[in-house]
Structure 1
Amino acid sequence: MNTPTHSAPAQIRIFDTTLRDGEQSPGCSMTPQQKVVMARGLADLGVDIIETGFPASSQSDREAHALIARDLRDTTLAVLSRCLPGDIETSLRTLSASARPRLHLFLSTSPLHREHKLRMSREQVLQSIDTHVRLARGHVDEIEFSAEDATRTEEDFLHDAIAAAIAAGATTINLPDTVGFTTPEEIRAMFERAIAKVAGADRVVFSAHCHNDLGLAVANSLAAIEGGARQVEGSINGIGERAGNCAIEELVMALKVRNAFYNLDTRIDTQRIVPTSQLLSRLVGMPVQRNKAIVGANAFAHESGIHQHGMLRHRGTYEIMQPQDVGWPSSQMVLGRHSGRAAVEQRLRALGYWLEEDELKLVFEQFKALCERQRVVGDADLQALMQDAAVSDGYRLASMTISDVGSRANALVELSDPDGNRIAETAQGNGPVDALFGALSAATGVQLQLESYQVHSVGIGADARGEASLSVRCDGEEYEGTGTSKDIIEASALAWLDVANRLLRQRRVEQQEVAAA
């Protein structure tokens, strides 16, 4: 990476345009109130500048900025404006409520835009830059000038436009790749030459705003940083015009994970990346693709048996960052047709099932058969397999009787133990379930402290079944169990035995492992 020739901040400034360019993405418009909620999320994330909108384009953008400015007093708030006196006046009125205002002026500089969009000559473009930057700077200290379509602008004229903006008082110079046309090598060189050759370049911060039309927005933004840019503009989840903008979460984590290479960082609280991404997704109703880097549901998910085996041995084999660092709770071992036995065993143990070798072999065969019928096997599927599996070393419910004894309930349970013997026990309780659990505890010798208990219907009509779910604590650890039956009391007994059998099996396996060691 080439060292920039101008004096630059130690960190990369993050200019977030989710509320302006991002909102221009079809279907992603937000109400002023939604923008306030998103702006708070961005401020908590730690972005340096929030671009709230384009005031001259709508009353909604002006209203949103006023609400945001009332809330956020420590974050720089920017608005976009064309180089037109009317736009600038509207933007200045909008910015008047901001504690830290920035006016973002833009004007096209490429020959294609000059001829077909502006119908202006080179000289007219330079005069407009000088006039309107000076007008704005007379009212606001922070002025950002963007040379729209900079990457398709003749280099000599681009340098003239930058020099004019700096001379007129611009404090930040943005060189956008407006249509996502450039490549990393080209944009790196563009920034290097502009910073080296333009008079006054050392007095301003250079910024990159890259679009993703060729899927290069993040790569081009990183290359711009290598060329000397010290501000990057982008959006959460990469939303924006057409194929979108540089995805802030990807750029930030590239700088963090590859810090030894870039030796630069940002102010972003990376543990808030996923919550911020999900907040935006909820507000605009646009889901994030599952394989999206950093914030996609599959970003830290592993299904391949080879990958899962490596992850179980050492996380670094297949992950270059911790999921917790970006706001995910943990990595996921997705169980499917490519998964191996080690991953299935690990997930079963996490659910509280400790199996011996022959039992695991049987359950794994059933797991593989299930994978032929469905793509992903979840925890509920594994628990159903365990209930259906021919594992013969647990207690089985043979019969039970519940009766009322005055103000209390009495339960009689008969169990079949792992050796096939019958055990009968009774207990009283404050209700049928309390009495039932007391009798089961007496029969098995397992003491469980009930934390929560729920029953609900599975299915409808005459075929509906009751499912009991409970959460218990034993020896300081929390366990969950489920049971299903047409009788909810029987379902409750099966849920209690689900936990008790797992605990007994776990203790036996641990004892065997200690003996073997």
Structure 2
Amino acid sequence: QVECTINGLGERAGNASLEEIVMALRTRSDSFSLSTGIRTEELYRASRLVSDLTGFVVQKNKAVVGANAFAHEAGIHQDGVIKEKLTYEIMRPEDIGRASNKLVLGKHSGRHALAARLRDLGFELAGPELDRAFKKFKDLADRKKEVYDEDLVSIVTDEATKIPETYDLDYLHVISGTGVVPSATVRLRKEGQVFQDSGVGDGPVDAVLAAIDAITGLKGRLQDYALRAATSGKDAIGEVSMKVDFDGTVVSGKGASTDVIEASARAYLNALNRLMQASTQRTKDVGP
């Protein structure tokens, strides 16, 4: 028996990583003569999903599922990989559900091209799901010259982990700079109604959160905040993960945007909506 968790998550010092154990047994089957019955092609997606739900970012240099797991920078390594992948890779990206070829999409790419690329990445989207993903893709493609696989994964996983939105971000305006007190104006939508308020803070993110608190009447305190660039470049998608304490209840939130301030606002709203959904569910469970 092996006790392990996806991404090695654990309350204090972590646990053995499921994906590392499974792939070690698979790649060294000649030595261990053991199998798990786990569909390894789902490992990468499972890792991303757990990361998005918990707010714990997978470090880039993590074995098997880290962003650098199949990256080769040194010239001699690149030459070796091109000639024979097994020279430096004991497993293939496809083995864990990552596409080996990186097709770059742009604003002229159509719905079918997006669906095909998502299929290569292990996501079968159709109907309304594909429509929502395509809309997000087009919005992103208008802001970025090129949309990479990591951007697409971010779009899909963000959609998959979405919860019913009580509050939705409609407008955001921030003023910040040297010698200026950071301030923000935020407009939110809730059940067809629009609410707007302003706030100030120690920085632009703090000001945005203060404005949101002024609208909702709830006061959240940041316990943890992490920012990760989904891709390289100045126009990369920024993924913000945070943990927020609402009067003793700690909730995780996640948001993504090419604008870090907007991503932070969306992550905070995501946490706020999770809190309100949990409160609604408890009320339903108790009953009248």
Shorter-chain TM range is: 0.3 to 0.5
TM-score (norm 1): 0.28
Which structure has more RCO (C-alpha within 8 Å, separation ≥ 6)?
2
TM-score (norm 2): 0.47
